[in-house]
A and B are shown apart, each in its own frame.
Chain A
Amino acid sequence: MKVALFIPCYIDALYPKVGIATLELLERLGVEVDYPLNQTCCGQPLGNEGDQKNAAAAERLFVDNFKGYDYIVGPAGSCVKHVRHHLDAIEQTTDVQSVRKNTYELVEFLHDILKLRDFSNVTFSHRVAVHNSCSSIRGLQLASCSEVMGPRWNKTEALLERVKGLELVHIDRPDECCGFGGTFAVTDEAVSAKMGLDKVRDYERHGIEYVVSPDMSCLMHQEGVSKMQQMPIQFVHIAQVLNQGPF
């Protein structure tokens, strides 16, 4: 199995520990991982805003870096969702199509490809709320969404369920958007910040100690709001929990 590690730009610069945790976790699980050194960004921030012209260059580079791998694994739901569903600013060659098909978000890769459930060798003794991003839920079906009637599932929680000492708590509005939304966080500052505030207050009401997520971008926003309110809530990536650090 030829696996490439996709570390999105903001994780590279702001959350290298999440990249390290992801790499170490995959290696411990026996996966051989390459890290293509010329990667930058998948183009999502541009594509989301409708700027296809500027997104094209980033997308082309992404495919150049990741073609030829069986799986491309990234610890970021929204970036993976962009690659899979919206990387369409460039011509859809065979390479582009297979890169899009083979790109997996970390939880998906662990849950669906490696078919892992049992992380009982891990200890994390805290009151935890899971935050699956909107991209992870409605784009990657990492969890069922509350709007759609039918069977319920949550792959992120499935991985955490057997972690020792971990107490999973459901907040009032578990799959309500936290208001990050990429550039929306800045262009629509008032609404974005209010959504974030409502989200962290929901955690606070439920006495959450740790928010665990497959998406650091939402957490960057939530943590920013929470710190401004001087709340003691911690925000970590699921790779950090399953790898027992680094925090």
Chain B
Amino acid sequence: MSTTKVKVAENAAKFIQQDDIHEKLHDQNLWNVRMRRDTVASAIPEWEELRTLASRIKEHTLTHLDEYVLQFADNAEKRGIKVHWASTAEDHNRIVYEILASHQVKRLVKSKSMLQEECHMAPYLEKRGITLTETDLGERIQQLSGQDPSHIVMPAIHQTKEDIAKLFAEKIGTDPNKVDANYLTEAMRNNARPKFLEAEATMTGANFAIAETGSFVVCTNEGNADLGAAIAPLHIASIGIEKMVPKVEDMGVFIRLLSRSAVGTAATQYTSHFSGPRKGTEMHIILTDHGRSHRLGLEDFWSSLKCIRCGACMNTCPVYRRSGGLSYGATYSGPIGIILDPSYDEDKYSELPFHSSLCGSCTEVCPVRIDIAEQIVKWRKVMSAKKKLPVGLRLAFGVTGTVFKYPWVFRTAEAAGKWALKFAPDALIYNKTLNAWGRQRKLPEFADQTFRDWYLKNRNKEPKA
């Protein structure tokens, strides 16, 4: 992994400026998802109560995580599932490879798992001679594009139909002039089906792991996880330890929230409870930490572990919609990415918390009530205290701090600012490289007299200071 600082604002500017199509569509498509979410959420009278319940179940589970993880592992083993423990991404990938190697697996089909993305598992396995096929359409598009997913739920949402028609023409031989979504989806389906039949193993993630039963729940819309698991003789599921919920009945809360928040439908097409291997096959799960217990110990940020990866905060985020997910240079983008990524690497992701207008919409849509916007501000405080602010900001704030501390300095600065704006030529004010305000916005005019001057003249004849 590179530790070069991610220049998220610059990347976002490129996303906007590439043409008049991508950013506009990206914004509109995701806004439409947000609107569908509002429609289905408003049909449930107890929606806000459900959010509170979900949040409390997750908080309870996370504060008793040791007990629930062990209970889950115990019960899973009783069901004939082989349980593995991975502390790091490297552990996770090594364990997967060892299982595959011991079964002479050469061809693997998998459905989407953000944890496997976190661990950068695909390149690890490919380097070791495993042919890995993403089976979910969005992930497959990203795999063929050689890009990371740009969204948790809709990994290729930053690409247009035209982009995909071109990509598929190149990679799977479709007609480059046919940009019809049904045609393209059908073509990929026909391309993928034989791979399911050939694969010696399948991999999934999990949306929820139920401690009392030792079973895990996978929610999908395309059914590829189920198809893979129904055919291959070996099923490996990667599960982050924060996925625990205590009881099956808790699903009644989370399933109602998940798909409504994510894509604005009542439920995903498939909600599958995996409760043990089919006869004559093997099922393995890898319970993975990868930074989770570290985050659980961070007083200000532990509640981010409540996240159920619905992506609602991304869909609603006006900054994310204009930036595209790849701009964040991380597995997780958008508001949830801003608060998760720095816990992995404070240097690389130090500018992410500043890529927010702090509008607070993310906090209000989050189905498990993570105070995302508050955590963004708290990460800014961390970056500021550790002197990881962008240099320009640091200097500016030092000066501003002094100006606001002393009333007379403030008055002088006001006067100087007014003078500078009055006499500076437009060419300087609207200089394309010097002034980030004036490139696309007219500057406000300093008034001839401040409110305070007016007040002294019109209300208070004898100033005290």
Of the candidate stretches B235-243, B250-258, B276-284, B315-323, the one touching chain A is B315-323
* Cα of A167 to Cα of B447 in the assembled complex, Å: 30
Chain A nearest CB from B221 CB (Å) reads 23
With an 8 A cutoff between CB atoms, is B9 at the interface? yes
Q: Please encode chain B, from 446 to 464, with 1 for each CB lying within 8 Å of some chain A CB and 0 for all others.
A: 1101111111100110011
Q: Which of A19, A35, A224 sits near B443, CB closer than 8 Å? A: A224
Q: Please encode chain B, from 362 to 384, with 1 for each CB lying within 8 Å of some chain A CB and 0 for all others.
A: 01110000000100011111111
With an 8 A cutoff between CB atoms, is A45 at the interface? yes
A190 proximity list for chain B (CB < 8 A):
9, 12-13, 16-17
Contact B414 A12 (CB under 8 A): yes
Contact A37 B401 (CB under 8 A): no
With an 8 A cutoff between CB atoms, is B358 at the interface? yes
Contact B357 A220 (CB under 8 A): no
Chain A nearest CB from B351 CB (Å) reads 9
Contact A177 B357 (CB under 8 A): yes
* Cα of A139 to Cα of B449 in the assembled complex, Å: 32
Q: Which residue of B lies closest to A14 (CB)?
A: B444
- Chain A residues numbered 10-44 whose CB sits less than 8 Å from any CB in chain B: 11-17, 19-20, 23, 35, 37-41, 43
Classify chain B: how many residues form its interface, as a range: 35 or more
Q: Please encode chain A, from 138 to 156, with 1 for each CB lying within 8 Å of some chain B CB and 0 for all others.
A: 1100000111111000000
- Chain B residues numbered 402-421 whose CB sits less than 8 Å from any CB in chain A: 402-407, 410, 414, 417-418
Of the listed residues B17, B322, B389, the one surrounded by the most CB atoms of chain A closer than 10 A to its CB is B322
A38 proximity list for chain B (CB < 8 A):
407, 465
* Cα of A49 to Cα of B395 in the assembled complex, Å: 13
Contact B357 A50 (CB under 8 A): no
A55 proximity list for chain B (CB < 8 A):
401
With an 8 A cutoff between CB atoms, is B183 at the interface? no
A40 proximity list for chain B (CB < 8 A):
403-407, 410
A179 proximity list for chain B (CB < 8 A):
318, 357
Q: Which residue of B lies closest to A89 (CB)?
A: B381
Contact B404 A223 (CB under 8 A): no
Contact A228 B359 (CB under 8 A): no
Of the candidate stretches A115-123, A194-202, A204-212, the one touching chain B is A194-202
A23 proximity list for chain B (CB < 8 A):
455, 459
Contact A223 B389 (CB under 8 A): no
Chain B binding surface, main DSSP class: helix
Contact B401 A194 (CB under 8 A): no
A113 proximity list for chain B (CB < 8 A):
none
A37 proximity list for chain B (CB < 8 A):
452, 455-456, 460, 463-465
* Cα of A220 to Cα of B443 in the assembled complex, Å: 8
Q: Which of A48, A198, A227 sits near B442, CB closer than 8 Å? A: A227
Q: Which residue of A lies closest to B316 (CB)?
A: A147
Q: Which residue of A lies closest to B403 (CB)?
A: A40
B12 proximity list for chain A (CB < 8 A):
188, 190-191
Q: Which residue of A lies closest to B373 (CB)?
A: A138
Chain B nearest CB from A228 CB (Å) reads 5
Chain A nearest CB from B287 CB (Å) reads 34
Q: Which of B9, B17, B31, B402 sits near A188, CB closer than 8 Å? A: B9
Classify chain A: how many residues form its interface, as a range: 35 or more
Contact B450 A177 (CB under 8 A): no
A193 proximity list for chain B (CB < 8 A):
439-441
Of the candidate stretches B39-47, B148-156, B157-165, the one touching chain A is B39-47
Contact status of A49 and B449, CB under 8 A, knowing A147-B365, A191-B9, A194-B23: no
With an 8 A cutoff between CB atoms, is B445 at the interface? yes
B460 proximity list for chain A (CB < 8 A):
35, 37
Q: Please encode chain A, from 208 to 229, with 1 for each CB lying within 8 Å of some chain B CB and 0 for all others.
A: 0000000000001101110110
Q: Which residue of A lies closest to B319 (CB)?
A: A191
Contact A145 B9 (CB under 8 A): no
Q: Which residue of B lies closest to A48 (CB)?
A: B358
Contact A145 B48 (CB under 8 A): no
Contact A138 B363 (CB under 8 A): yes
Q: Which residue of B lies closest to A42 (CB)?
A: B404
Contact B459 A35 (CB under 8 A): yes
With an 8 A cutoff between CB atoms, is B393 at the interface? yes
Contact A221 B381 (CB under 8 A): no
* Cα of A55 to Cα of B390 in the assembled complex, Å: 17
Q: Which residue of B lies closest to A44 (CB)?
A: B404
Chain A nearest CB from B446 CB (Å) reads 6
B392 proximity list for chain A (CB < 8 A):
187
* Cα of A171 to Cα of B444 in the assembled complex, Å: 25
A196 proximity list for chain B (CB < 8 A):
440-441
Of the listed residues B356, B360, B377, B402, the one surrounded by the most CB atoms of chain A closer than 10 A to its CB is B360
Chain B nearest CB from A39 CB (Å) reads 8
With an 8 A cutoff between CB atoms, is A173 at the interface? yes
Contact B407 A50 (CB under 8 A): no
Q: Which residue of A lies closest to B396 (CB)?
A: A183
Q: Please encode chain A, from 46 to 70, with 1 for each CB lying within 8 Å of some chain B CB and 0 for all others.
A: 1011111111011001000000000
Q: Which of B365, B380, B405, B451 sits near A16, CB closer than 8 Å? A: B451
Contact status of A51 and B447, CB under 8 A, knowing A149-B41, A191-B319: no
Contact A184 B41 (CB under 8 A): no
Q: Please encode chain A, from 162 to 197, with 1 for each CB lying within 8 Å of some chain B CB and 0 for all others.
A: 000000000001001101111111111111111111
With an 8 A cutoff between CB atoms, is A129 at the interface? no
Chain B nearest CB from A111 CB (Å) reads 21
* Cα of A223 to Cα of B385 in the assembled complex, Å: 35
Contact B440 A228 (CB under 8 A): yes
With an 8 A cutoff between CB atoms, is A90 at the interface? no
Counting from the closest, the 8 A-B pairs by CB-CB distance are A54-B401, A50-B380, A224-B441, A181-B357, A19-B451, A190-B13, A177-B359, A57-B405
B residues whose Cβ falls under 8 Å from a Cβ of A:
9, 12-13, 16-17, 23, 27, 31, 38, 41-42, 44, 47-48, 316, 318-319, 322-323, 353-361, 363-365, 373, 377-385, 389-390, 392-393, 396-398, 400-407, 410, 414, 417-418, 436-437, 439-447, 449-456, 459-460, 463-465
A residues whose Cβ falls under 8 Å from a Cβ of B:
7, 9, 11-17, 19-20, 23, 35, 37-41, 43, 45-46, 48-55, 57-58, 61, 86, 134, 138-139, 145-150, 173, 176-177, 179-198, 220-221, 223-225, 227-228
Given contacts A7-B452, A19-B451, A138-B363, 17 further A-B contacts (CB under 8 A): A19-B454, A40-B407, A50-B385, A52-B381, A58-B405, A149-B41, A177-B359, A183-B393, A184-B354, A188-B12, A188-B357, A190-B17, A191-B319, A192-B357, A193-B440, A194-B16, A227-B442
